[in-house]
Amino acid sequence: MIPKVDGTHDVSLRSWVESANDPATDFPVQNLPLGAFRYRDEGPPRIGCAIGDQVLDLAACAERGLLRGLPSDVGDACRGTALNGLMSLEPRVRGTLRHRLSHLLRSEGGFVTAQAEAPNVLVPRADAEMRLPAAVGDYTDFYASVFHATNVGRMLRPDHPLLPNYKWVPIGYHGRASSLVVSGTPVVRPCGQTEPPEGGTPAFGPSRSLDYELEVGAFLGPGNALGRTIPVAEAEDHIFGLCLLNDWSARDVQRWEYQPLGPFLAKSFATSVSPWVVTIEALAPYRVPAFARPEGDPRPLPYLAHEENEAHGGIDLRLEVLLSSRAMREQALAPFSLSRSNLRALYWTLAQMVAHHASNGCNLRPGDLVASGTVSGEAKEARGCLLERTWRGAEPLALPGGETRRFLEDGDEVILRGHCEREGFARIGFGECRGVVRAASESA
């Protein structure tokens, strides 16, 4: 069931954490995203809630009785080192935590407040070392933007850009969970084998066509037993929350290796994830209809079709990619906006991806990560990667300071941002997902 708007979304709510009342903050009291953090150089990770420029330490809240009265499973999960415990709970149970956090952090009207305990339960975000939000057992990447799929297809098959299955089945591949990294982790340029000249021998060395991919990740909740399915009508109950995700891609390696089994080493060297998970409950005010399929497109097969998903399966999440080169930083130039798109443009909804993933009895588990694939829109400025944005390098982009880019250079920093806004509701954001490209290892 898609979560409903309730009192935690009230635009009039304000927080006693003053920075959370700044209209420009990503983390007002209506958001309450969750993540895992560690005190600088001290102790194991802890679970936190972002509020303005602070982090509310949930284990500290539990120790001081601020979570008393919640289901015991919730209290136990809040003492964990990652979000997997919370992700494993049914939406009705874990939803009690959102309501308690709202009361703890609102400036008035809460039946219990954390304000008196502020010195003991708040940590400045600048002093919190963020970790991956969950221990991810499996990571699956989809290909859900028809605009991205069409653009890439036109480069390879100008007359038939979309393969016959695209509008019938959510396409995906199993990624590499071990190389998921939290935002801010440097990304080393990968080495790989690339296509030889006709009749020649393939070359091995650093990728010369390194790219980013603007994506949104969905952390999964309770999951299903092996051999059981997840009906699309129930799929939202298995989505815990969303994050920003950069699926770094070595396009020259990918071009040579992808046939016949798809992405492999071109994708597995690093995938960056933003540290704060915006819960599916926080996103209730920003739900929109699923992508309107053009006339003549096939209807989803029955196992992927449901009225509620069609009416509210989309999310109005505005996304942006920025680039800051080493030279730009040395000249104190602001990051350059590469593209802007919106998650609502996905051809397949998140619920359809989850339902399809489990349709063969594949067991999904708490903390599994599902990604949308590159989020591109119809306009050129809405293309979500450099492969599209520069049309495979044929149309280089001009950067401030006189540089150009076909693909990423060493020292480039890619920044993903996302936020939701709607009249009558607070603006909520996702923070940032950052990564700086480092030169290929000399030992490679």
Q: Which residues are tagged catalytic?
A: 148
Residue 63 tokens, joined:
């120790």
Element (H, E) at 429: strand 428-438
Element (H, E) at 405: strand 404-405
Phi/psi class of residue 166: alpha, beta or left (left: φ > 0; alpha: ψ in -120 to 50)?
Answer: alpha
Q: Per residue in 174-194, is it b (16+ CB within 10 Å) or e — as a string?
A: ebbbeebbbbbeebbbbbbeb
Task: With beta carbons less than 8 A apart as the criterion, state whether 42 and 322 touch.
Answer: no
Question: Angle 213-214-218 (CA atoms, 0-180°, nearest 5)?
Answer: 110
CA–CA distance, 240 with 237 (Å, rounded to integer): 8
Residue 154 tokens, joined:
């036109």
With H, G, I as helix, E, B as strand and everything else as coil, classify residue 231.
Answer: coil
CA–CA distance, 132 with 36 (Å, rounded to integer): 7
Residue 174 tokens, joined:
């199993």
Between β-strands 249-250 and 210-211, what pairing exists: parallel, antiparallel or unpaired? antiparallel
At position 362, the amino acid (one-letter code) is C
Element (H, E) at 203: strand 203-206
| DSSP letter string, 336-372 | EEEEEEEGGG-SS-HHHHHHHHTTT-PPP-TT-EEE-
Q: Is the dihedral of CA 79, 82, 84, 86 positive or negative?
A: positive
Residue 301 tokens, joined:
């097969």
Question: Angle 229-365-90 (CA atoms, 0-180°, nearest 5)?
Answer: 85
Q: Which residue has the tokens 């919190």?
A: 128
Task: With beta carbons less than 8 A apart as the criterion, state whether 318 and 345 touch.
Answer: no
